[in-house]
A and B are shown apart, each in its own frame.
Chain A
């Protein structure tokens, strides 16, 4: 009797056996799950909000796998090395060219994306945005953008700056804050020099541009790389003017900190990054991918993008810009490596002869 009561507890009960069986069965059952179509999306933070994903899954009876990317480098690695694993992704237009050249993306059919009709005119004329159309075929649909304007302290700067040349204005010497990035700074200097294109500096112009950047260096208080860092510098040193590489994000940061600032788009045009949705070469279901892009241009996705991320949608005019403001969509510069190398020397404090040394 003693044994009878004690022994069953030592052995595996029926319940445990059932659990094991269920666990094993789940492996057999998995392929049934996988039968639901899956859309594999690569998106930047805030692009594919959970509600947006849910409503898409519900409407199309599919499952969406969102992988979040945070840098151009990791995006390039994923798409170039694991193209098979993704259907649709968001990429900067300036970056798109190399994906097209490497045959990693495929043309899409704008007529399958009816929500494009809701977009602002400047985003519907795809051919006018460099980098979206290649060989007569459309590769990307604009989704969100941010311009790089000028932030100014209303107390120190009486009238909103109208030109990018304000960064060189000696009356603000030691009161200007600029971004520590060669590619953009060379574009800015090219704009100041009124070169034909800020993205294509002619060989003869390099020295002038570099000289101007040394001038800019001598006029600034300092350079920043992160938005928070820029806001801290601006406030701590009571700066008058700042080039807003992160656009509205920095405006928000400073306003939240109580700064009395304005935001201006220079007449030369604000450098503007534009992200677009593209479809990978190895997309499994192109129709579903088109439906996703259409969904992301819908009311819900556009609203959440502005509400939660403070990013501009392509549906309504941004509060930061006026319709007449010129936006210069970023393009791949003529030679990123050269710009960065020269910028490294300029920032380190070298004089022109050393900057231009081979």
Chain B
């Protein structure tokens, strides 16, 4: 498989870009989500704190009520029977007071005046019925001395208030409060002899109280209440509330293990815990919850409360879902941008490369090279420059080779001693001249020159002298002849001259005479003068022959005749 560099480069750029954007988006989302969860946890904790404060305020209100009633002089008078004549009236007055309080406080199940004597006999009792408030007839009053809210309260100092554990009220005949979660708040009634002679008890509707306090909470929040042993008293699932009363277990530390730090058994007791629950079963959604333990200061409480609020995680995360969608959109659009940029970048890089490639390709086919991006100052510019340099070198080498070739060609067709065309070149030119003459019906003439006395010079003065003579002759021939004429050395001391223009006899004779005269001039060799002559034979086309060989043969014979004549 072949992937162009543009592809690969583009892909890498895209991958790097998308990966960078994706990771940044992901971590940004994570961080924001954590912050959102944290913020909502803080909010939940604040809500729980506010609620706890309300609970404390509400309890203090109840405490104030109980204290007020316990210190009411009528209560003492009723218990001491100080005025038998007005006993019934006094009891009725107090009962009216109780009833009034019950009306004002819908969270009260019961208000009672109980005497210490007679096994804790109730003296006045007002119950909440089904929508009405009942004063219990004396025949139905019960003995309550064996209940902690009586026997523990009787031990308290004047004005002190007892708050019972939250429990299900199993006392028969308690009307609306029967079998309902209740809290007994009680205070002793003291007699003149500084002796506790009875107690005032208010039974508080635990659920009603918390329903009232929680009424302003956002609907998605769930309320939890537990005692400091962790037993649930209020739970969104009623099956978990007061499970201990049914011989079952449902503890806050089992459902929310972190809350163990709030329990009285904990070594390092904390005041608040924010925790979450991820239910393994898919049916229930995961929740975040805040729990608070706050000591009920200044109250004689048998037990204290752990209060909690929970919120389904999806509602917490709804905001972060939006954030996720936004992040995703941003990531996608930036990724698209990254892809676009990657393509542009890859193309920008690859275009000059492609240009170089196509120019190099053209160079290999037609030997020339076009415009290269040499103006660039980057690596591509350097590459272009190198290629241009290489191209120049290649050109120079080709020229050298051409020159070499020319030299070789020249050597193959010229006589190395005299520089005149050799026999082969001369025959070629003769053939060409003949063809031209035939086509244009022109004349041409051939001079055959043989040096006289050359052999003697060679023999007496050496070959070197002979060579000098030959070179001098050739030099003179070149000087005598016109450019259109061709002189060649075709043998040891044999030269031929081809005359194409002005082939009339007068011109030829003139040329022959000039050549003759030229040949006869002495030639300086070292300090002597050498003299040769030349026998010249002329052959004419078409008179003496029409082919190269017949013309040469004819001129040869004419030369020979001339030599013989001498």
Complex contacts, A237 vs chain B, CB 8 Å: 151
Known: A73-B247, A217-B119. 20 other contacts (CB 8 A): A2-B8, A2-B11, A70-B249, A218-B143, A218-B146, A222-B151, A237-B151, A344-B170, A344-B172, A345-B172, A348-B170, A348-B172, A348-B174, A349-B143, A349-B144, A349-B146, A349-B171, A350-B142, A350-B172, A351-B143
Contact B122 A349 (CB under 8 A): yes
The verdict on A223 contacting B146 (CB below 8 Å), with A3-B3, A237-B151, A350-B172 known, is yes
Total residue contacts A-B, CB cutoff 8 A: 52
Complex contacts, A347 vs chain B, CB 8 Å: 146, 170-171
Contact A348 B11 (CB under 8 A): no
| CB-nearest residue of chain A to B173 | A348
- B27 adjacent to chain A (CB < 8 Å): no
- A221 adjacent to chain B (CB < 8 Å): yes
In the complex the two chains form, what is the Cα distance from A29 to B119 in whole Å? 71
In the complex the two chains form, what is the Cα distance from A174 to B247 in whole Å? 28
- B230 adjacent to chain A (CB < 8 Å): no
- B297 adjacent to chain A (CB < 8 Å): no
Complex contacts, A217 vs chain B, CB 8 Å: 119, 143, 146
Residue from the list B12, B142, B151, B249 in contact with A348, Cβ < 8 A: B142
- A220 adjacent to chain B (CB < 8 Å): yes
In the complex the two chains form, what is the Cα distance from A101 to B120 in whole Å? 45
The verdict on A222 contacting B148 (CB below 8 Å), with A2-B8, A71-B247, A73-B247 known, is yes
- A137 adjacent to chain B (CB < 8 Å): no
- A354 adjacent to chain B (CB < 8 Å): yes
B119-149 with Cβ < 8 A to chain A: 119-120, 122, 140, 142-148
| Binary contact track B438-463/A, C-beta < 8 Å → 1, others 0 | 00000000000000000000000000
Which residues of A are in contact with B by a Cβ distance under 8 Å? 2-3, 70-71, 73, 174, 217-218, 220-223, 237, 344-345, 347-351, 354
| CB-nearest residue of chain A to B144 | A349
Contact B142 A349 (CB under 8 A): yes
Complex contacts, B8 vs chain A, CB 8 Å: 2
Residue from the list B11, B151, B171 in contact with A221, Cβ < 8 A: B151
Report A340 CB to chain B, min CB distance, Å. Answer: 11
Report B120 CB to chain A, min CB distance, Å. Answer: 7
Report B562 CB to chain A, min CB distance, Å. Answer: 87
The verdict on A220 contacting B247 (CB below 8 Å), with A2-B11, A237-B151, A349-B171 known, is no
- 20 A-B residue pairings within 8 Å (CB atoms): A2-B8, A3-B3, A217-B143, A218-B119, A218-B146, A220-B146, A221-B146, A222-B146, A222-B147, A222-B148, A237-B151, A348-B142, A348-B170, A348-B172, A348-B174, A349-B119, A349-B146, A350-B142, A351-B142, A354-B140
Complex contacts, A70 vs chain B, CB 8 Å: 249
In the complex the two chains form, what is the Cα distance from A222 to B120 in whole Å? 12
Report A278 CB to chain B, min CB distance, Å. Answer: 22
Report A68 CB to chain B, min CB distance, Å. Answer: 12
In the complex the two chains form, what is the Cα distance from A345 to B249 in whole Å? 27
In the complex the two chains form, what is the Cα distance from A220 to B8 in whole Å? 93
In the complex the two chains form, what is the Cα distance from A11 to B466 in whole Å? 93
In the complex the two chains form, what is the Cα distance from A2 to B174 in whole Å? 83
Report B245 CB to chain A, min CB distance, Å. Answer: 9
The verdict on A348 contacting B146 (CB below 8 Å), with A2-B12, A3-B3, A354-B140 known, is no
Complex contacts, B249 vs chain A, CB 8 Å: 70
Complex contacts, A221 vs chain B, CB 8 Å: 146, 151
Report A210 CB to chain B, min CB distance, Å. Answer: 14
Report B304 CB to chain A, min CB distance, Å. Answer: 16
Contact B3 A348 (CB under 8 A): no
In the complex the two chains form, what is the Cα distance from A60 to B142 in whole Å? 62
Closest 9 CB pairs of A and B: A349-B142, A349-B143, A348-B172, A348-B171, A218-B119, A222-B146, A349-B144, A345-B172, A344-B172
Report A256 CB to chain B, min CB distance, Å. Answer: 16
In the complex the two chains form, what is the Cα distance from A221 to B249 in whole Å? 28
In the complex the two chains form, what is the Cα distance from A348 to B122 in whole Å? 11
Report A243 CB to chain B, min CB distance, Å. Answer: 13
Complex contacts, B247 vs chain A, CB 8 Å: 71, 73
Residue from the list B11, B170, B173 in contact with A350, Cβ < 8 A: B173
In the complex the two chains form, what is the Cα distance from A278 to B374 in whole Å? 102
Contact B143 A174 (CB under 8 A): no
In the complex the two chains form, what is the Cα distance from A71 to B146 in whole Å? 28
Complex contacts, A349 vs chain B, CB 8 Å: 119-120, 122, 142-146, 171
Contact A174 B170 (CB under 8 A): no
Complex contacts, B151 vs chain A, CB 8 Å: 174, 221-222, 237
Complex contacts, B143 vs chain A, CB 8 Å: 217-218, 349, 351
| CB-nearest residue of chain B to A237 | B151
Complex contacts, B248 vs chain A, CB 8 Å: 71
Complex contacts, A351 vs chain B, CB 8 Å: 142-143
In the complex the two chains form, what is the Cα distance from A220 to B171 in whole Å? 17
Complex contacts, B144 vs chain A, CB 8 Å: 349
Report A32 CB to chain B, min CB distance, Å. Answer: 28
Report A76 CB to chain B, min CB distance, Å. Answer: 13
| CB-nearest residue of chain A to B141 | A349
Complex contacts, B3 vs chain A, CB 8 Å: 3
Complex contacts, A71 vs chain B, CB 8 Å: 247-248
Complex contacts, B148 vs chain A, CB 8 Å: 222
B7-31 with Cβ < 8 A to chain A: 8, 11-12
Complex contacts, B173 vs chain A, CB 8 Å: 348, 350
In the complex the two chains form, what is the Cα distance from A349 to B148 in whole Å? 13
Report B243 CB to chain A, min CB distance, Å. Answer: 11
Complex contacts, B140 vs chain A, CB 8 Å: 354
In the complex the two chains form, what is the Cα distance from A349 to B149 in whole Å? 14
Report B366 CB to chain A, min CB distance, Å. Answer: 35
In the complex the two chains form, what is the Cα distance from A144 to B8 in whole Å? 80
Report B203 CB to chain A, min CB distance, Å. Answer: 13
Complex contacts, A73 vs chain B, CB 8 Å: 247
| CB-nearest residue of chain B to A345 | B172
| CB-nearest residue of chain A to B170 | A344
Report A183 CB to chain B, min CB distance, Å. Answer: 14
In the complex the two chains form, what is the Cα distance from A104 to B263 in whole Å? 43
Contact A218 B12 (CB under 8 A): no
In the complex the two chains form, what is the Cα distance from A347 to B119 in whole Å? 12
Report A167 CB to chain B, min CB distance, Å. Answer: 13
Report B33 CB to chain A, min CB distance, Å. Answer: 27
| CB-nearest residue of chain B to A218 | B119
In the complex the two chains form, what is the Cα distance from A221 to B144 in whole Å? 11
In the complex the two chains form, what is the Cα distance from A348 to B144 in whole Å? 7
Report A342 CB to chain B, min CB distance, Å. Answer: 10
In the complex the two chains form, what is the Cα distance from A104 to B301 in whole Å? 48
Report B372 CB to chain A, min CB distance, Å. Answer: 29
Complex contacts, B12 vs chain A, CB 8 Å: 2
Complex contacts, A3 vs chain B, CB 8 Å: 3
